[in-house]
Every structure is written in C-alpha cells, then in structure tokens.
Amino acid sequence: MTIMHHPSATTLAAFASGTLDEARAVVVATHLSLCEACRGAVSGFEHLGGALLDATPPAQMSPGAMERTLERAMAASAGAEPAARHLVEAGLPAPIANYALGSWRRIGRGVQWRSVDVASDDAVRVFMLKAAPGTRLPRHRHTGTEWTCVFEGAFRHDLGRFGPGDFDEADENDEHNPVVEAGVPCICLVALQGGIQLQSWLGRLVQPLIRI
Amino acid sequence: MGDEIEGASAHDPAQWIVAIAARQDRAAFAALFEFYAPRVKTMLMRMGVGAATAEDVAQDTLLAVWRKAAQYDPQRAAASAWVYTIARNLRIDRLRRDNRSKLFTLYEIIEPEEPERPDGPLDAAQDEARVRVALAELPEEQVRVVELSFFEGRAHGDIAKLLDLPLGTVKSRLRLAMNRLRNLLGEPT
C-alpha cells in the first residue's frame, strides 16, 4: 500500500514523548503499525528525547538510591524480562485489538459503527466506522479534532484520497464532504472530540450510542 | 567505579547496557544509574511530577534497564533514546488515572521485533549524531519551544505565558521546528 497522508510532525513528536491522550494515541499507533516511514520519524523523535535527556542537569537522588536499586536488580536476573507479546484478532491492526470492541451496529444508511473501549480524559471518543461503497456522507464541519486512520477501502474528500494506512488529521477549521469509493466498504478508526452539543453529522449519529 | 568493566573509563552508556546483559555487570549499572537516574528525575519534575514520585520512577527506570538489558540492540537505538522510552512508558503507567488505560502498551505493540529496514541495519550512532546536528541547526527560539513542549510536555497556552508570546506564535514556531526536525531526522541518508 502507498500511504499518502501522514500525521503531522507535531503529532508524531507528541506521540513519541508520551503526551498524547490515549484516544488520539490509538489512532496514531494504528497508522504507525501500517507506516514504516512514520515509525522511523517516531524513532527520530525518541532520539531527540534521548539527546535532551543527556543534556538535562542532574537532580539530587536520595542517599543510597543506587545501592537500593541495585539490590532490587540483583533479586531479579539481568535481561530476564521477555519482550511483551500481544495477541491480535485477525484482520485488525494490533493497536485496536488491544481494546474491548463492541459489535457492529447500523447507525444510518450504509454506515455501521463499532465501539472501541478506550479510556480518555479529554472528551475524545474512539470508534470504528464501516461505510458501504459509494456512500456519500453528509457535508460536515468539525467542532473539535477528528482523527481518522483508514485500514480497508478508501474515501475521498477535498484533500484527496484516503486509502489503507492513510491518516486524516482534521481540526475544527476543516469542512469535508467525504465519499466512499466504489468496490469494498471503507473501514476506519476514528477519534472524535466533542462536547454535548455535537454539530457534525457524525456527532449526531454517534451521540446516542456513546452518550457524550 | 569501572574496575569490572573493560574500557569503562569513557562515557559509553550503550556498552554499559550491553555489559549488564552479558554478565550482570554491577559497575556498569552503577555508571548508568549515576548518569541517567538523576536526569530522568529532572525530566519528570519538569513535567510536573512531584519529587518523590519522580525519584521512584527514576529508580524504576534503571531497574527496568537492568531487567530489559538483553532486549537492547545498540544498532537500533542510542542508549539515551532507549532509556528515554523506558522512562516515558513508566511515567505513563505510573501516572494513569484510569485503570483501564493501556496507553503504555501501545508503545510495545508498534515496536517491531526485528529491524526491518531493507537497506541494512539502522545505525544508531548516526541517528544520535543527526539529532545533535539538527538541534544545533535549529534557531535558539525554536529549540526553547521544543524543550518546553516536547520534553517538558507543557501546554501551548502555558508556553505562551512563560515566554510572553502570542499563542499563534508558539504554535507556528513549534510546527516549524517539528517539521524541520522530522526532515532532518527522518532521512536515511
């Protein structure tokens, strides 16, 4: 797959520094699981973090901190901890499979919705959407950020075509009129930010389901 | 310090981690601890973590370095970047407010088990050198915004107040700096 749309550098940096909220981080991680170039960029930002760490002035540690930590270390054997492994549901990007998923529910003509149980402290909700080929989604304006990662099928709007792996980082200034391509359904992961009075078509559709 | 590590006189944290994995080298651990634990503590305190928790997480970071030492590949990551990511994950795990949070596991998931660059292994030393060059080439005012936002995790509004700048200026400086850094860091050649 050729990925045309990537998260912004600021977003990749925020992910690397661990300051992105979990809801948005899941969508970014989904893109990363499909995009080697952005994994490289995140690694670059982690090296930036390392360089800044090296240049940081040291703080005073409590007396005997090193000896106590070494004692705890000796109680375990070095290098003993195996790398973590994660089970992945077939056909799903690994970052999503990490969360409890609801079942698919029809929420409108040609559109299905599936909840993704992500803890979030910033009124951001995460869900999957599946839209039938040719579905024309009503024109909508974002009231908060709406980040989307496609993993099957494709849609188009005025900023281009968004196929598997593509990342759409829309904010409140964007107005879109997406159309799902012919062929296969478009399945994507969405992190939608919004309060009680969601204005967008998507907000109205999902509001009863997620009880924002 | 250093009597158990061959050639430990020079500052070489990557070799210290390798020495821990190879032979549970206590002197290498002491050297790593003395360099990184106090710096991780500073970083966390600048992020707004209280001194006692920052101390705990700094100690736990070095403990995790000991335990995970065999997973460290000096070809793939500079020691500083590796320690940074361990501290990042422990901070997220320690400070999560919601028990359902799995944020820290996302970082393990996207980490490929094997280096996958078709054109040969990553050269971590080169990555590290590239970061230092990139930082040196960035205008001072951009470096400051990067430190405050990226390293200390401050909100854009806080940075605007701290530097007495309009919010828009902070955002555009940050965007410029991050785009520049991504371009400088991301190119494999």
Question: Residue A13: its chain B contacts at CB < 8 A?
Answer: 150, 178, 181-182
Structure confidence by residue, pLDDT tens digits, A41-52: 999 999 999 999
- What number is the ipTM of this complex? 0.90
Whole-angstrom Cα distance, residue B178 to residue B171?
Answer: 11
- Could you tell me where the beta strands, DSSP code E, fall in A81-193? 105-108, 111-115, 124-131, 140-141, 146-152, 155-157, 160-162, 167-170, 175-176, 179-180, 186-193
User: What is the pLDDT at residue B111?
Assistant: 67
Whole-angstrom Cα distance, residue A156 to residue A21?
Answer: 27
Report for A36-50, A107-121, A198-212, B93-107: range of highest mean pLDDT: A36-50
**Does B14 have pLDDT greater than 70?**
yes
From the list B38, B71, B81, the residue facing A58 with the nearest CB is: B38
Task: Please indicate if any CB of chain A lies within 8 Å of the CB of B49.
Answer: no
Q: What is the CATH number of domain B124-186?
A: 1.10.10.10
Contact B59 A29 (CB under 8 A): no
Mean pLDDT along residues A24-40:
93
More confident residue, A200 or A159: A159
Which pTM was predicted? 0.88
Question: Residue A32: its chain B contacts at CB < 8 A?
Answer: 110
Query: Domain B13-109, what architecture?
Result: Orthogonal Bundle (1.10)
User: What is the pLDDT at residue B118?
Assistant: 44
For chain B, positions 100-129, list CB contacts with chain A under 8 A: 100-103, 105-110, 112-113, 116, 122, 124, 127-128
Numbered ranges of CATH 1.10.1740.10 in chain B? 13-109
Report the percent of chain B where pLDDT is more than 90.
Answer: 65
Question: Residue B43: its chain A contacts at CB < 8 A?
Answer: 52-53, 56
Burial of A25 (0-12, 13-18, 19+ CB in 10 A): buried
**Does A208 have pLDDT greater than 50?**
yes
Phi, psi of A155 (to 5 degrees): -130, 165
Residue ranges and CATH numbers for the domains of chain A are: 1-57+91-212 (2.60.120.10)
From the list A10, A59, A83, the residue facing B175 with the nearest CB is: A10
